[in-house]
Amino acid sequence: MKILVTGGSGFIGSHLVTQLIAQGHDVITLDDLSNGKISLLNQVMDNPKHTFIQGSVLDRSLLNELMDQVDVVFHLAAVLGVKNLVEHPLKVIEGNIDGTRNVLEFAFARKQKVVFSSTSEVYGKNNNLPYNEDSDRVLGSTLKNRWCYATAKALDEHLCFAYAEKGLPITVVRYFNAYGPGATTSDYGMVIPKFIKAALTNSPITVYGDGNQTRCFTYIDDTVQGTIKCMDSNYNGEVFNIGRDEEISINQLANKIKFLCNSNSDIIHIPYDEIYGEKYEDTPKRIPNNEKARSLLGFSPLISIDEGLRKTIAYYQNELGYGSDR
* DSSP-based three-state secondary structure for 241: strand
2 neighbors 25 (Cβ within 8 angstroms): yes
Q: Are strands 247-249 and 178-179 parallel, antiparallel or unpaired?
A: unpaired
Catalytic residue among 131, 149, 163, 219: 149
Can you tell me the distance from the alpha carbon of 173 to that of 310, in angstroms, rounded to the nearest whole number? 26
Separation in Å, CA 99 to CA 96, 166, 223, 312: 6, 20, 22, 31
96 neighbors 78 (Cβ within 8 angstroms): yes
Can you tell me the distance from the alpha carbon of 29 to that of 7, in angstroms, rounded to the nearest whole number? 7
235 neighbors 227 (Cβ within 8 angstroms): no
Instruction: Tally Cβ neighbours within 10 Å of residue 58.
Output: 15
Can you tell me the distance from the alpha carbon of 242 to that of 301, in angstroms, rounded to the nearest whole number? 9
Estimate the crossing angle of helix 89-110 against helix 60-67, to 10 degrees.
40
In the annotation, is 149 catalytic?
A: yes
Which among 258, 150, 148, 281 is positioned nearest to 208, based on CA atoms?
Answer: 281
CA dihedral 22, 24, 28, 32 (to 10 degrees): -10
Residue 194: phi and psi, rounded to 5, are -65, -45
Distance of alpha carbon 244 from its chain centroid, rounded?
13
123 neighbors 135 (Cβ within 8 angstroms): yes
Separation in Å, CA 93 to CA 29, 96, 230: 23, 6, 26
Q: Which residues are catalytic?
A: 149
